Copies of this chain bind each other. A is one copy, B any other.
Amino acid sequence: MKEQEFLQELKEINLFQQALAILGWDTQTGMPEKASDDRGEVESYLYGLAFEKEVGPKIKEALTYFENRQDELSEVGQAAYRVVKEQYDLNHAIPKEKMEALSGALSKAHGSWQKSRASKNFADFRDALETNIRLTKELIPYWKKDEATDYDVLLNQYEPNMTVEILDKVFAEVREGILSIRKTLEEKGTEPNTDFLSRKMTVAQQREFVIGVVTQLGYDFSRGRLDDTIHPFMIGINHNDARITTRWDEHDFTMATFGVIHEAGHGMYEQSIDPKYQYTPVATGTSMGIHESQSLFNEIIIGSNKQFWKKQFPFLKECAPGTFDDISFDDFYDSLKKTQASLIRIESDSLTYPLHIIIRYEIEKLIFNGEAQVDDLPQIWNDKYEEYLGIRPENDLEGILQDVHWSNGSFGYFPSYALGYMYAAQLLEAMKKEVDFDKVLASDDYSPIKSWLTEHIHQYGASKKPNELILEATGETLNPQYLIDYMKKIYFDVYKVK
């Protein structure tokens, strides 16, 4: 087997995936509503062809041949080999009927979840959730390598090399840090006024503003586009085509503004992967956590920066003539950083957000490493919200039914969100050693920030693991103290805590 043959097979798999990505994008951005059955046929046919190749004879042969001959591969070939081997090892031994049982259960579970949301009653989702958990538990032995616990196995599907041991420690620190900041703000802080944030900004005005902002940040519209959707996402088709999406609320411009800045962070990552990896499985983000670190770097780290807003507030006023003329810069800036306990994760602010994640992490651990019964989950959920956030859901829709993840079997995914946030804060401190962050954001040229992220993160695609990237970029392993210090700085400033 020659490297060329291996790479050609990977390219053909990748071309199917690119076609599927466009079809998926279309499905979520404006496919005619009645086209969904036919679309399902097209997608499952192409998906099947790609899957046949992924576990097919060529790939098997390549894995065997190159196992002890990696020196015959170029650097790109070696990186591709590692990713392919990992994916193959993960899934090839699973009996087909177990895989089909899960995929059948998941598609039913989505319907049950939607039904339960309508009834606001966990009972309508309970059986489906129990089945999802049971079938996932059955797969863990096939996935398991040397992980310490079953939940570690799930974690690793989204964040390679992450462990319960690490997370227990960092989440404890983050939780204590946030609770302590919240206490200080409550006792000594002054809450900012946010009334004017609901002033009307038309979609056209918001679009002009946010397109201007993300272009300055370095999202390249000649290799991307912005479309409307219901649940915003970024989809990386290849490094020349990384598309972002948003929804709009004319009485809350912050939703689309921070949403698009967030998705643009994902898009900038995909756009900046070294083109040498194209047509291989290396040409994508390395993990959910690292991906989220890039979107949150944009949304929170840059999007909470005072110098950034000093520069952008006049542009915002230009895009919405007259709307914010009576608002001082300081009042405007402070309004963006109000914090308040809330029940819904995706509506929460950048101080309380990690608490929502920690609650889910603790519950998932109980499910897979512990003894929690499915029937007890709503009570556990609600108790934890009361304990950590001081508020209690009035119904299951405000509680355990709010997220789609468990209905589609994504157990172990949630921690990525908080990991991304911690990575982002840690990357900021490392970046500051080389880049005058505030000064750059006050200037007309934001490129030093993107260049730093591209140099240390983006370019590598999936050729390095998350822990490797963080260690090399910042000189240390994951350290939650950066996030806690960062939160203190931002919120004590806005809340005028001396």
Contacts and interface: CB of A to CB of B under 8 A. Distances in A.
A345 to B, nearest CB: 31
A34 B225 contact: no
A34, A221, A225, most chain B CB atoms within 10 A: A34
Contacts of A363: none
A46 B30 CA distance: 23
Interface string A257-292: 000000000000000000000110000000000000
Interface residues of A, number: 33
A123 to B, nearest CB: 33
A32, A46, A221, A279, most chain B CB atoms within 10 A: A32
A281 B390 CA distance: 62
A76 interface: no
Interface stretch (A159-167, A235-243, A381-389, A490-498): A235-243
21 contacts: A12-B45, A15-B45, A18-B42, A19-B42, A22-B23, A22-B42, A31-B225, A32-B222, A32-B223, A32-B224, A32-B225, A32-B241, A32-B243, A33-B222, A34-B222, A35-B223, A35-B238, A35-B241, A38-B238, A38-B241, A41-B279
Interface in A4-47: 12, 15, 18-19, 22-23, 26, 30-35, 37-39, 41-42, 45-46
Contacts of A237: 35, 38
A228 to B, nearest CB: 12
Interface string A240-256: 11010000000000000
B15 A46 contact: yes
Copies in the complex: 2
The main secondary structure of chain A at its interface with chain B is helix
Interface in A424-482: none
A244 to B, nearest CB: 11
A382 B175 CA distance: 81
A220 B75 CA distance: 52
Contact of A35 (B15, B30, B240): B240
Given A32-B240, A32-B241, A37-B240, 17 more contacts: A15-B42, A15-B46, A18-B42, A19-B42, A22-B23, A22-B26, A26-B26, A30-B225, A32-B222, A32-B223, A33-B222, A34-B223, A38-B237, A38-B238, A38-B278, A39-B241, A41-B279
